[in-house]
Structure 1
Amino acid sequence: MIAFTVHEFAHAYSAYKFGDKTAYDAGRVTLNPRVHLDVLGTILILVAGFGWAKPVPVNRGRFKYPRLMGIIVSAVGPLSNLLIAALGILALYVLNDTGILAASSVGVYKALIHFFNYLISINIMLLIFNLIPLPPLDGYRIIQDLVPVRVRIQMDQHVQWGMFIFLLIVFIPPLREVTLDPLFANSSKIIWALQGFYENFFSPYDWSKFVRDFNT
């Protein structure tokens, strides 16, 4: 719910700030999950581990610089998932360094660990998944705005085949095992990189002092 909502809000908000009110008029510039979640996509996430949210309508013709701003609007969705994962890792380190985790009951400790682990892993997988250059994913939209116009026209003519390939990869297990699964295996490397960033730049900070100062 958090991952999908923030992802779609990032698309809608950035498009609105760049001059396209399509998503704003549709009520999508909000962090209300009910506006962004798709019923079938949400059910599939719960029962099959795969799902989707409602796509945000974007009219690139309303942008001052359609291609550049189109790339940004497409990219901010996956980047928002990276930001959530980074904040989740930071929160875990802060809770650990301040002793909050150690002082918690067993039930609270397990709940926090499970919550943040899922928060981090799901957002990293969404980051990777949405950058795949197949329609209707963000990676495809980014490629469309990067290539010359004549190439984009050719891509639009064959978009149905891209959709077909996408559905085959997602819903046929043997194809998923040789495509998406190896790709998702790289999620741990991204998590390690974020952890390394924290250890190099944030670890020296005394988070216990921050909590004490905040409480006073």
Structure 2
Amino acid sequence: MSVTSIRRADRRGDSDRRISPIFLAIVAVMAVSGWAVWSQFASDHGFAVFLFVVSGWVVSLCLHEYAHARSALHSGDISIGAKGYLTLNPLKYTHALLSIVLPVVFVILGGIGLPGGAVFIERGRIQGRWRHSLISAAGPLVNVAFAVLLMLPFALGALDSWPTEFLCALAFLAMLQVTAAILNLLPVPGLDGYGIIEPWLSPTARRQFEPFAQFGLLAVFGVLWIPAVNVKFFHAIDTVMGWLHVPRDYVDFGYTLFQFWRK
């Protein structure tokens, strides 16, 4: 497919990629709740932190899926626009339960950034193994970028000047991004990490792994319930966040504030 045809389809799809009011509303909730935490306007910091983290987490999920879709569009799948994936509307995903609802539930219940994922890409339209790998990598790279952005204040010395509650909320949200990125990059069928290497596998290997794709995420979560694995996993998370000087105590306190219903 030529670059010209992609550009023409892109122009025709202006309405298909207009940012959704639903996404803008979620961003507004994130902004207002973040301001409430920063200014200590809300008497209940916990509820404001909860709104800030959940809305920020949903924003990152939408951007994660958008990155998959946008890279697929420019790799040759011009059907992406018609599916509504470029609007950042979470309700347009083929599996809203997996992409949005379950990740939010796991954040609330366990404080784990569970990777979602469900944009339907017509892979037959895309030529080249590198393009297929890039499409799969685009989502987790968004989580990496989001995590770095959230952790930059710590690296730049904000601990001495920014409100503690706001920094704790940032630290917890950053931890969710780091966990999502690491989990999603695992080479497990059904996750983006496997999608990165799948184009380079033999057709026989791909057929053998394909039946396990629907169980990959559940298998990973099940393994994380093993105490020894859980300890090592979060030790790795602490190490990564330590590179940008995010204190573990701030992550823990952010999670405590987030669970306002436990007070």
Question: Which structure ranks higher in relative contact order (CA pairs < 8 Å, sequence separation ≥ 6)?
Answer: 2
- 1:126 aligned partner: 180
* Greater mean deviation of Cα atoms: 118-127 or 187-196: 187-196
How far the C-alpha of 1:26 sits from its partner, in A, is 1.3
Write the letter of the residue equivalent to 1:133. P
CA contact (8 A) 2:64 2:140 kept: yes
Q: Would the alpha carbon gap of residues 183 and 23 (structure 1) be closer, same or farther in structure 2, given more than 3 Å must change?
A: farther
Q: Give the distance between the partners of 1:165 and 1:53, measured in 2 at CA.
A: 12
Map of 2:34 onto structure 1: none
- Residues 86-105 of structure 1: CA deviation (Å, up to 9, x unaligned): 111224445729x752xxxx
Per-residue deviation, 1:195? 5.0
Q: Flag structure 1 segments of 5+ consecutive residues without an equivalent.
A: 102-108, 197-216
Local SS of the residue matching 1:134? coil
For residue 221 of structure 2, the aligned residue among 170, 173, 195 is: 170
1:56 aligns with 2:113: no
Residues 172-212 of structure 1: CA distance to partner in whole angstroms, max 9, x if unpaired?
7754x34455234211222233459xxxxxxxxxxxxxxxx
Secondary structure (helix, strand or coil) at the match of 1:135 reads: coil
Distance 2:131 2:191 in 1: 17
Is 1:11 aligned to residue 68 of structure 2?
Answer: yes
Q: What corresponds to 1:145 in structure 2? A: 199
Describe the superposition over 1:147-186 as per-residue Cα deviations: whole angstroms up to 9, x where unpaired: 2333223322xx23x54464244247754x3445523421
What is the rounded CA distance, in whole Å, between the counterparts of 1:53 and 1:12 in structure 2?
Answer: 14
- Provide the secondary structure at the position in 1 that maps to 2:87: coil
- TM-score norm. by structure 1 comes to 0.70
Say yes or no: does 1:88 pair with 2:138.
Answer: no
**Unaligned 5+ runs, structure 2:** 1-57, 247-263
Taking a change above 3 Å as real, the CA distance of residues 29 and 124 of structure 1, as seen in their structure-2 partners, is same
Q: Secondary structure at the match of 1:29?
A: helix
In 2, distance between residues paired with 1:21 and 1:180? 41
Deviation for aligned residue 1:49: 3.7
Letter of the structure 1 residue corresponding to residue 196 of structure 2: I
2: distance between equivalents of 1:33 and 1:164? 23
- Is it true that 1:192 corresponds to 2:247 in the alignment? no
Q: Distance in 1 between matches of 2:156 and 2:91?
A: 31
- Residues 83 and 92 in structure 2, CA contact (< 8 A), matched pair in contact too: no
Q: Distance in 2 between matches of 1:186 and 1:117?
A: 15
Preserved CA contact (<8 Å) 2:186 2:193: yes
Alignment partners' CA distance in 2, 1:69 and 1:32? 24
State the superposition RMSD in angstroms.
2.9
Q: Is the 8 A contact 1:169 1:179 kept in 2?
A: no
Identity over aligned pairs, percent: 26
Q: In the alignment, is the contact (CA less than 8 A) between 2:77 and 2:121 conserved in 1? A: yes
TM-score normalised per structure 2:
0.59
1:27 to 77, 81, 84: 84
- 2:121 counterpart SS class: coil
What is the DSSP-based 3-state SS (H/G/I as helix, E as strand, rest coil) of the residue aligned with 2:80?
A: helix
Partner residue of 1:72? 134
Aligned partner of 2:50 in structure 1 is: none
Contact between 2:144 and 2:177, CA under 8 Å: does it hold in 1?
A: yes
CA contact (8 A) 2:155 2:244 kept: no
Match of 2:108 among 46, 52, 68: 46
Offset, 1:127: 0.7
